[in-house]
Amino acid sequence: MERVRFRRLFQPRNPLFWMFILLNVLSSVISYLLRSHDLSLPIALLLAAFALGNVLYGIRIALRLMSAAGE
């Protein structure tokens, strides 16, 4: 089994890399908002679902970046 090399994630010329960075920053901002503000339940659930979607999409992009670098 091949070792996973996280340095393959760093691909500044690849637009997917910047999407990955943007999604991580956006998830962090949403998490901060959820923790620091007293939001109504529907808004909090919507933001939480959006943050979870960002995480899942970010994982998908990370896997693509790591596999694309090995080709």
Question: What pLDDT digit, counting tens, does each position of 30-45 carry?
Answer: 999 999 999 999 999 9
- Cα-based distances in Å from 56 to 1, 27, 39, 53, 59: 24, 11, 23, 5, 5
Q: What integer best gives the mean pLDDT of the chain?
A: 87
* pTM reported for the whole predicted model: 0.76
Q: Decide if 6 contacts 62 (C-beta within 8 A).
A: no
